[in-house]
């Protein structure tokens, strides 16, 4: 089940919210857990057992670490066991096929018979719930949160359906108080509805429309320079509106249930360095990689070379986390190398002066990275890069012109206008690193505000426009057969 589906909008969500608000506070976490398991089982019932097993295992490991004591040798042994088992489960389902295929390429080149194994299906959301489980047991070991004895609350944290499939990557220590005490108000529910509708419009109206452009350009066997750049720019916008749209919907659903999740995007395409980009893009994952991988590797506590190495390895492993493909590894290495270079050069990642040249260079580096991130394999990526930087024929190929519609062109233009306007607005109105307000940077469709009567009319007009766009998006969704989120594959 996905948020952008009629089953979710008109069956699952209204039934769940009705039962949620009719039940007492004592039973809401249990109801949330059961609903989340139904949400997950809608895809495949058999993988629900794996999901529940991982949850129970990490709950038990947390209790063992807590009983052993903060940072004790016994606690460290329990932690190592927990992390190793979690990574083995993730590695088997996510990387076994890739490992066997890579090994077969090597041994067949020597004339040997390849290994034959049954294709292993990747459980959806496994990367996210594994990372959240690992963060919990590490936090217990470090003493950042006590080991919980409430299995229902812990299981609901891991399974909570708004963020289950594609994040944000949440931490138990940040939500434990909300599981025990959270407020349910009309204002918070209305804010959640607004945020959900924003994300829905971003996903269905913009991302889904641009998906066809990107897919067609990347599928061309002999793309022109114009085809390649069109595909790269279309995918750059598609990925942002798709993933930030999902995050908006997840945050909105959380608000409807009284939770306030962290922001996951902060206008990343306004960044003037790759370091700044990773403070604005997929913030929850960036923070996770920093706190549980980069710091564990040594962070910046060693020599300058060790710091650069740790930055590079963190992003390399972050790329591998996205999928079992050499394209993701190279994408992670690309960003890791640039981060190390920027640290070496002492790049300011929180500048308050907008420099068009720095922005253009950063955006170019991001787009170049997205090409290999999107490509099915290295051959497709090379074909796109070769066309992009041959600077040959800037005209679109006949195949591309025949498939491109006015709606797609208009949507691409609107997408970049929205990115520019709201990106610059955010840049000049809020210092980087300052905590985002209710519906700040990730929401370019509508912005909450406060003020007197003069401010009320524009706000009402924008909300009315959002409601109309949401209704139109629902109609568009009903007309198309399927609307998957890009990050479901990770």
Q: pLDDT for 172-187, tens place per residue?
A: 999 999 998 899 999 9
pLDDT at 483: 64
Q: pLDDT for 77-111, tens place per residue?
A: 999 999 999 999 999 888 877 777 777 777 877 77
Catalytic (active site) residue 322: yes
pLDDT at 444: 40
pLDDT at 425: 85
Distance CA 77, CA 67 (A): 12
Average pLDDT score over residue span 410-422: 94
Q: pLDDT for 203-214, tens place per residue?
A: 999 999 999 999
Beta-carbon contacts of residue 321 (< 8 Å; ≥ 6 apart) = 127, 131, 490
Confidence band for 240, pLDDT divided at 50, 70 and 90? very high
Distance CA 246, CA 230 (A): 24
pLDDT at 430: 62
Distance CA 225, CA 107 (A): 38
pLDDT at 251: 95
pLDDT at 448: 40
Go through 120-154 and write b for each residue having 16 or more CB atoms within 10 A of its CB, e for each that does not. Answer: eebbbbbbbbbbbbbbbbbbbbbeebebbeeeebb
pLDDT at 442: 40
Q: How big is the CA angle at 287 (ends 485 and 324), to the nearest 5 degrees?
A: 50
The whole-chain average pLDDT of the chain stands at 88
Distance CA 411, CA 405 (A): 10
Distance CA 466, CA 472 (A): 10
Tell me if 192 sits within 8 A of 252, measured CB to CB: yes
pTM of the shown model: 0.88
Cβ burial of 196 (10 Å; 0-12, 13-18, 19+) is buried
Residue 402, CB half-sphere, CA atoms under 13 Å: how many? 4
Question: At residue 455, does pLDDT exceed 60?
Answer: no
pLDDT at 212: 93
pLDDT at 391: 87
Q: pLDDT for 278-334, tens place per residue?
A: 999 999 999 999 999 999 999 888 899 999 999 999 999 999 988 888 999 999 999
Confidence band for 484, pLDDT divided at 50, 70 and 90? low
Strands (E), 136-222: none
Positive or negative torsion for Cα 290, 293, 296, 299: negative
Beta-carbon contacts of residue 143 (< 8 Å; ≥ 6 apart) = 70, 71
Average pLDDT score over residue span 335-364: 92
pLDDT at 3: 82
- Of 3-7, 366-370, 465-469, minimum mean pLDDT range: 3-7
Q: pLDDT for 260-272, tens place per residue?
A: 999 999 999 999 9
Q: pLDDT for 109-150, tens place per residue?
A: 777 777 777 777 878 888 889 999 999 999 999 999 999 999
Distance CA 62, CA 56 (A): 10
pLDDT at 316: 95
Distance CA 319, CA 369 (A): 11
Q: How many CB atoms lie within 10 A of CB 45?
A: 11
The 3-state DSSP class for residue 45 equals coil
Question: At residue 360, does pLDDT exceed 90?
Answer: yes
- Tokens representing residue 479 in the block: 């007309």
- Tokens representing residue 459 in the block: 């706000």
Question: At residue 445, does pLDDT exceed 50?
Answer: no
Catalytic member of 163, 216, 282, 322 = 322
């Amino acid at each position: 089940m996905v948020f952008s589906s009629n089953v979710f909008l008109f069956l699952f969500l209204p039934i769940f919210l009705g039962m949620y608000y009719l039940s007492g506070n004592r039973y809401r976490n249990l109801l949330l857990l059961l609903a989340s398991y139904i949400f997950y089982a809608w895809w495949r019932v058999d993988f629900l057992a794996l999901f529940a097993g991982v949850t129970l295992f990490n709950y038990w490991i947390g209790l063992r670490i807590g009983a052993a004591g903060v940072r004790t040798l016994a606690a460290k042994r329990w932690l190592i066991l927990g992390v190793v088992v979690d990574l083995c489960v993730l590695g088997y389902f996510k990387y076994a096929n890739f490992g066997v295929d890579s090994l077969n390429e090597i041994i067949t080149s020597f004339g040997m018979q390849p290994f034959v194994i049954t294709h292993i299906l990747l459980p959806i959301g496994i990367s996210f719930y594994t990372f959240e489980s690992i963060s919990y047991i590490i936090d217990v070991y470090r003493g950042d949160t006590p080991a919980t004895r409430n299995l229902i609350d812990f299981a609901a944290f891991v399974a909570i359906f708004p963020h289950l499939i594609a994040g944000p990557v949440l931490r138990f220590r940040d939500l434990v108080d909300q599981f025990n005490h959270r407020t349910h108000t009309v204002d918070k529910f209305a804010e959640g509805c607004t945020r959900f509708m924003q994300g829905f419009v971003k996903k269905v109206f913009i991302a889904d429309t641009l998906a066809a452009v990107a897919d067609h350009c990347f599928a061309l066997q002999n793309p022109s320079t114009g085809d390649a750049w069109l595909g790269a720019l279309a995918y750059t916008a598609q990925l942002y509106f798709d993933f930030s749209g999902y995050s908006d919907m997840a945050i909105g659903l959380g608000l409807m249930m009284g939770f306030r999740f962290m922001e996951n995007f902060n206008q990343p395409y306004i960044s003037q360095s790759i370091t700044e980009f990773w403070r604005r893009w997929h913030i929850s994952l960036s923070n996770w990689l920093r706190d549980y991988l980069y710091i564990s590797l040594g962070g910046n506590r060693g020599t300058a070379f060790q710091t650069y190495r740790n930055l590079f390895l963190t992003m390399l492993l972050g790329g591998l986390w996205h999928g079992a493909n050499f394209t993701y590894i190279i994408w992670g290495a690309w960003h890791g190398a640039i981060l190390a270079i920027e640290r070496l050069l002492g790049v300011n990642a929180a500048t308050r002066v907008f420099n068009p040249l720095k922005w253009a260079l950063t955006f170019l580096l991001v787009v170049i990275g997205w090409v290999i991130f999107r490509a099915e394999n290295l051959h497709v990526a090379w074909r796109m890069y070769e066309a992009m930087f041959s600077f040959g024929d800037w005209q679109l190929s006949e195949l591309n012109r025949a498939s491109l519609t006015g709606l797609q062109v208009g949507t691409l233009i609107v997408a970049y206008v929205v990115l520019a306007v709201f990106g610059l607005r955010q840049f000049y109105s809020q210092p980087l690193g300052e905590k985002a307000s209710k519906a700040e940077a990730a929401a370019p469709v509508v912005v909450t505000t406060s003020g007197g009567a003069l401010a009320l009319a524009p706000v009402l007009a924008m909300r009315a426009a959002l409601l109309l766009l949401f209704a139109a998006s629902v109609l568009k969704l009903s007309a198309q057969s399927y609307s998957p989120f890009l990050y479901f594959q990770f």
